[in-house]
Structure 1
Amino acid sequence: MVGDKDQAIYGSLGGVAKTVEAISIQFGHIAISELELSGNYRSSQRVIDYYRNYQSAGINIESLSKYAKESGLITFNRNIDKDELADYIAQIIQQNLDSGVPENEICVLAPQWWLVIPMGRKLKSLLPNVNFDAIGLSPLLKNKENIWFKVARLFLVSPSPKMYFVRGRWAIELVNEFDSLGIEILPETDRKSKVLLKFINSISSEKEDGLAYLEECFKSLLALLCINIQRYPTLKLHWEYFFESSKKRLEKPEFDYAKDIASFKRLFNHTSGVVVNTCHGIKGEEFHTVIAFGLLNGYVPHKSDLDPIDSSRKLLYVICSRSKKNLHLISEIRTRYRRQMLVTEHLRDLNYMYDSYKI
């Protein structure tokens, strides 16, 4: 078992981080030997030394990356107004792109969905020639755990030489996903993923509505694979969640999503680009440059957290440890209940010599 108690950030979402003793009891009082991994292949030593300020475990971490000794940038801005925030972040993104950082090596994140979604839209408007992998740009909820999301991306991303290997990998993942649900597809076939791709490539619909198009294609695929969805409760549950969550997003007037299949395909084809997501959504990921905003008391930690001090520290640890070289932290000026919000406590109290950063 592998874990990091400094990254146990799902408490507010119902997650439970158990102690070694509790795990031992759960498995019948087994003996557990604790080992530590102290080598880090992701971040520069400077980034590591910074985010260790939010560490509780006290493990010494050494950068083993090829850029371990590079200084990069670590900045903190607490003086920018929320109305100027999108322009400020857009300029940071553009400067990174101009210096040769790939789009998918840049991440913009915030602690809550309602901050993330409008930011993705504003950044896309400010940087129309930049690709974004942003929550809220697509009407389909990007849920990689849902099997129908995996089916949808194969229908929405058209076959092309550029996408040949990507779609092939997705097809293999889909075969494995069916297998994990106890559904054997194409039992007499050796190269199942190849045949599955041929089936998907042969299916189309005349429907103009995006969800109606996908539903008809999904049903055609089930027919070709001889799968009765009623026999598989989990498969049916994934179906219901996929379509219900998508319908709810499409119905929200503030998002104003295009509902036609052409728009679905156009938006879905940009599955790589500058990532705009939540702190929870990027856990486990790594980026050359991380730009985090909304680092304010009430957001980090969330006002409903039962252990706000511990939660705040862990969120900052996760946010900062996503960075390879550059880290831009922002506690923008916002008001709530007519009072200015405060910088999240751990960030406010840390005495650190940040880099100056000019746009």
Structure 2
Amino acid sequence: MPVVNYNNNIRTSQRPGISLEESQDFYKTWAETYDKDTTNSNYNGPAATANLVLKLFEGKTDGVRILDVAAGTGMSGEALQKIGFCSLDALEPSEEMLLLAKEKNVYGRLIQDFLGTNRLDIVDGEYDATVMVGGMVEGHVGCDCLEELIRVVKPGTYLSTMPVVNYHGNIRDVQRPGISLTESQNFYKTWAADYDKDTTDSNYNGPAATANLVLKLFEGKTDGVRILDVAAGTGMSGEALYKVGFRSMDALEPSEDMLLLAKEKNVYGRLIQDFLGTNRLDIVDGEYDATVMVGGMVEGHVKCDCLEELIRVVKPGGFVVICMREVNLRKVPEYHKLEPRMAALKSKGCWEPVSRVVFSNYCEGEEGIIFVYRVC
């Protein structure tokens, strides 16, 4: 999976400690290719927010006045106009971005200003809604903007940022800092039935991205390739692998409730209910051509001490494939140890690195990373 321009530019414009002035200077160079880069990165924030705003107004768009905050080049304005909203103004600090927004012909008033504690040149209660998509990132809009967002909206109407869908609420609960493995498994008892719907609604692309990469590893040949889907959940990765042609797959998953749903997908042979860690699984050495784990490395789930077992059950020359949120390498203390442990296993002659791929839109626009190692 390629690392597109959007990821490089977004890292630069949001680097830790960047000032508001520095971020705005960066947009002078990025404005011209911003739309292309974000489109290539499957940026769904504007469309998702526009659809939610339409629901807030029960499908009625006539006379609804909206202020698009941190409007950028006008992508959110386009999304709102596409579903029927026609009375839109734009607030954006970057002159270069605002000029491009003007060309889209979706806005009435174009306001070049920063949003913060300053009072905007807008009267109280001017709008039926203020909408901000993507403005709350490092070095951009701060939390002190909320009072001003409220001031310019009339009583009884709406302030909307990028919507937080059900998936995020559940994922926060199941990955909260300090959660134990037992607690996370108990949570899946209540979430299992809605898991597929919630993750699909959140544009969860980890399984598909990983399946396509695995197909390339085997040069498009799927016959006789045996794969163990690790932390299989409800079988979304199994479905993705099946879709690209793999037919000989087993599933390893600790949650009985999730595994029962995986069984219904009819893509697996053996279903193994067990935790992955330092324990020895009921699998013989070298049983598989590949072990594939997508989304298992999150807070309170699979730990770094699982790597040796992932290697043991793969035949020499086979692959270990791990896909996860890229941010977890920095955000979750357990995974600070992951790449050093991978390097140590390489030094011991257990495996050799094949690729380390960062890709966009793993889930809800966040980056994913896929590690591939060949077993020695």
TM-score range, shorter chain: under 0.3
TM-score (norm 1): 0.27
Instruction: For CA contacts below 8 A with separation 6 or more, give which structure has more relative contact order.
Output: 1
- Which structure is higher in strand share? 2
